[in-house]
């Protein structure tokens, strides 16, 4: 069993939305796995070989071992909410038995993100079923937690934030690993995405009294073991 399974429609989505939280959970001794649903091909920049090297560097920057990152074969740009896709993800969930699932927040302008989150939500349900042709034993993750890697200019309601000040440099390094996506060919806009996220995470840090924080959303009620856990 693992603690957290982070589903990312494309390589770099996990880093964009919650790269520092992944580093923090890993530092705290929790078992984390990132599942890239596609390899990002085709994309305007880089090659599959370049992006795979970048993905490896980003994985290491967050403190994950190579075996803590899984690559699936969903087709970039054409994700479809289907039974086959649901069962594909449900099989992954039953194999690794995560306590929590992380998925992209909706609404979003990117069709892949929308389809991916629908697939993840349904896979959570399918993974608990008996009398179904899936690997492993039935398993139902306790929570789906949504991270923000949206392509919409939204200021959505946030359920909670994690104080990631101590590991924020790891998020920056993980994003800097994707030179082909965020720096090369972007001219004066090189690194603008990374800087935008720094500003966003700095803002949410001010909301909870720290330097940097990453925001998350839940549809379900979040429980605390005591008020002393509140920052």
In a domain, 231, yes or no: no
**pLDDT above 80 for 231:** no
Residue pair 14/22 in contact (Cβ under 8 Å)? The answer is yes
Give the mean model confidence (pLDDT) for residues 115-132.
97
In a domain, 116, yes or no: yes
**pLDDT above 90 for 42:** no
Give the mean model confidence (pLDDT) for residues 17-38.
98
Close Cβ partners of 217 (under 8 Å, ≥ 6 residues apart): 105, 145, 146, 148, 156, 157, 158, 159
- Per-residue pLDDT band for 160 (boundaries 50, 70, 90) equals very high
Buried b (16+ CB within 10 A) or exposed e, 50-70: ebeebbeebbbbbbbeeebbe
- Of 45, 56, 196, give the one whose Cα is nearest residue 34: 56
User: At 11, which CATH number?
Assistant: 3.40.50.10320
Give the mean model confidence (pLDDT) for residues 44-54.
90
Residues of the domain holding 124: 2-221
Phi and psi angles of residue 136, each rounded to the nearest 5 degrees, phi first: 75, -175
In a domain, 79, yes or no: yes
- In the chain, the number of structural domains is 1
Residue 44 or residue 15, greater confidence: 15
Q: What is the pLDDT of residue 27?
A: 97
Residue 40, token pair as written in the block: 């990002």
Beta-bridge partner residues of 104: 147
- Per-residue pLDDT band for 44 (boundaries 50, 70, 90) equals confident
In a domain, 8, yes or no: yes
Q: What is the pLDDT of residue 67?
A: 97
Name the DSSP class of 73: -
In a domain, 89, yes or no: yes
In a domain, 227, yes or no: no
In a domain, 13, yes or no: yes
């Amino acid at each position: 069993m693992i603690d957290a399974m982070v589903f990312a429609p494309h390589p770099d989505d996990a880093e964009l939305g919650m790269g520092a939280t992944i580093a923090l959970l890993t530092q705290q001794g929790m078992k984390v796995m990132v599942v890239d649903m596609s390899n990002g091909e085709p994309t305007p920049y880089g090659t599959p070989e370049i992006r795979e090297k970048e993905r490896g560097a980003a994985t290491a920057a967050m403190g994950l071992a190579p075996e803590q990152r899984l690559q699936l074969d969903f087709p970039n740009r054409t994700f479809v909410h289907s039974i086959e896709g649901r069962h594909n993800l449900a099989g992954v969930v039953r194999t690794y038995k995560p306590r929590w699932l992380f998925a992209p927040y909706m609404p979003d302008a990117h069709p892949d993100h929308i389809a991916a989150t629908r697939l993840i939500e349904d896979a959570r349900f399918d993974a608990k079923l008996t009398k179904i042709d899936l690997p492993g034993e039935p398993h139902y993750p306790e929570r789906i937690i949504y991270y923000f890697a949206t392509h919409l200019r939204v200021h959505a309601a946030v359920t909670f934030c994690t104080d990631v000040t101590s590991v924020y440099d790891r998020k920056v390094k993980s994003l800097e690993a994707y030179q082909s996506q965020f720096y090369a060919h972007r001219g004066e806009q090189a690194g603008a995405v990374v800087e935008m996220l720094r500003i966003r995470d700095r803002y949410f840090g001010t909301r909870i009294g720290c330097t940097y924080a990453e925001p998350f959303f839940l549809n379900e009620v979040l429980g605390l073991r005591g008020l002393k856990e509140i920052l």
